[in-house]
């Protein structure tokens, strides 16, 4: 069964600190993996996208890694800001069917 699991479910960190979010998937055949940021009451916005051959991808303070062998990805946020408070969703695409498989998200709260 195609599944995407994220951990932790929620996280609270102090402003300026770093954090890492995890994503494990069983989606096959794998096409690519994206991390989205969703602010409360808004639609998700893409942060990074990685294909099978890519191990790491950065977007400013966000760095995503992918291990296609173990089917794991992480999103590392450096020097967190209050505006980073949001839900972060891992989305894995397959080459068949309805294409996108969503994790349940990690709710990140950055406090001053």
Tell me which of 7, 26, 28, 95 binds other proteins, using CB under 8 A: 95
Q: Which is nearer to other proteins, 14 or 52 (CB)?
A: 52
> What residues from 3 to 22 belong to the interface with other proteins (CB under 8 A)?
4
Q: How buried is 67 (Cβ within 10 angstroms: 0-12 exposed, 13-18 middle, 19+ buried)?
A: exposed
By residue count, the chain amounts to: 112
3-class SS of residue 71: coil
Q: Which is nearer to other proteins, 44 or 64 (CB)?
A: 44
* Neighbouring C-beta atoms of residue 64, cutoff 10 Å: 24
As measured in angstroms, the least distance from the Cβ of 20 to other proteins is 20
Tell me which of 7, 26, 46, 58 binds other proteins, using CB under 8 A: 46
Kindly state whether residue 47 participates in binding other proteins, applying the rule CB under 8 A.
no
Q: Which is nearer to other proteins, 77 or 91 (CB)?
A: 91
Of the candidates 32, 43, 93, 83, the one whose C-alpha atom is nearest the C-alpha of residue 62 is 83
Q: Please provide the distance, in angstroms rounded to a whole number, between the alpha carbons at the two ends of the chain.
A: 41
Residues that bind other proteins (CB under 8 A): 4, 31-32, 34, 36, 41-46, 49, 51, 89, 91, 93-96, 98-100, 102-105
């Amino acid at each position: 069964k195609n599944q995407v699991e994220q951990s932790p479910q929620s996280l609270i960190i102090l402003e300026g600190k770093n954090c890492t979010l995890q994503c494990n998937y069983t989606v096959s055949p794998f096409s690519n993996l994206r991390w989205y940021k969703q602010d409360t009451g808004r639609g998700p916005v893409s942060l990074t996208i990685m294909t099978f051959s890519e191990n790491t991808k950065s977007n400013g303070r966000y760095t995503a890694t992918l291990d296609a062998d173990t089917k794991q990805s992480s999103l590392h946020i450096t020097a967190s800001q209050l505006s980073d408070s949001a839900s972060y969703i891992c989305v894995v695409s397959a080459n068949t069917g309805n294409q996108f498989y969503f994790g349940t998200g990690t709710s990140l709260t950055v406090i001053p």
